[in-house]
Amino acid sequence: MNNCKSFKPSIDINSKILILGSMPGVKSLDAQQYYAHPQNRFWKVMGVICNEPKLPKFDYDLKLKTLLKNNIALWDTIKSCKRKGSLDSDIQNETPNDIKGLLKKFPNIKTICLNGNKSYSAFKKYFPDLLEKYNYHKMPSTSPANARYSLNKLIMEWKVLV
C-alpha cells in the first residue's frame, strides 16, 4: 500500500471551470504531472476542448498554461490516500482537498467537472452543498481503465465544457 498525495492545483484568477480528478495514478505521481500515463486520454480530450490538437505533444508546463488560457483549472478531489497501484477502486483512507477554500479564493469558478466516478463520489461525500451551488458535470473517466468509452465518445461527452 502506497501513501499517495495529490498535487497543487493549476488555477488562476481567470479560471471559470474546475476539473477535479480523484487521485493521480502511479505514473503521474512518479512524473509529478497530471495525467502522465501515455494511455490516459485526458490531454487528447482537452486538445479538442481547447481547440489545440497538438496539446498532447506539448511539454507539461505548456499543457497547464493552455488549460489556464482557456479558463480551465485542474486539481483532485482527494488530497491523500493509501492505494496499491493506480485503480480508484483501491483507494483507502482518503482525505479530501480543501475545495471549499479553493473556490472561495477563486470566485470566478462557475462550473465543476468531475473526471470519473471516484472523483464524483468523493466530491458528493465531502462537499454535498457545493453540488447545489455550482454547475457541475459528472464526466466519464479519461483513464485507460475506462475502456468502454472510445476517444470519440469521451470527446462528445466532455464537449459540455465548451
Nearest to 158 by CA among 56, 57, 44, 66: 44
Contacts of residue 149, Cβ cutoff 8 Å, sequence gap at least 6: 140, 141, 157
| DSSP-assigned beta bridge partners for residue 72 | 17
The single-letter code of the amino acid at 115 is: N
Where would I find the beta strands (DSSP E) of the chain? 2-5, 17-21, 72-76, 78-83, 92-96, 111-115, 135-139
Residue 146 annotated as catalytic? no
Beta bridge partners of 20: 75, 114
Catalytic residue among 2, 3, 40, 135: 40
Which region, left, alpha or beta, applies to residue 32 given φ > 0 means left and ψ of -120 to 50 means alpha? left
CA distance 104 to 98: 10
- Catalytic residue annotation: 40
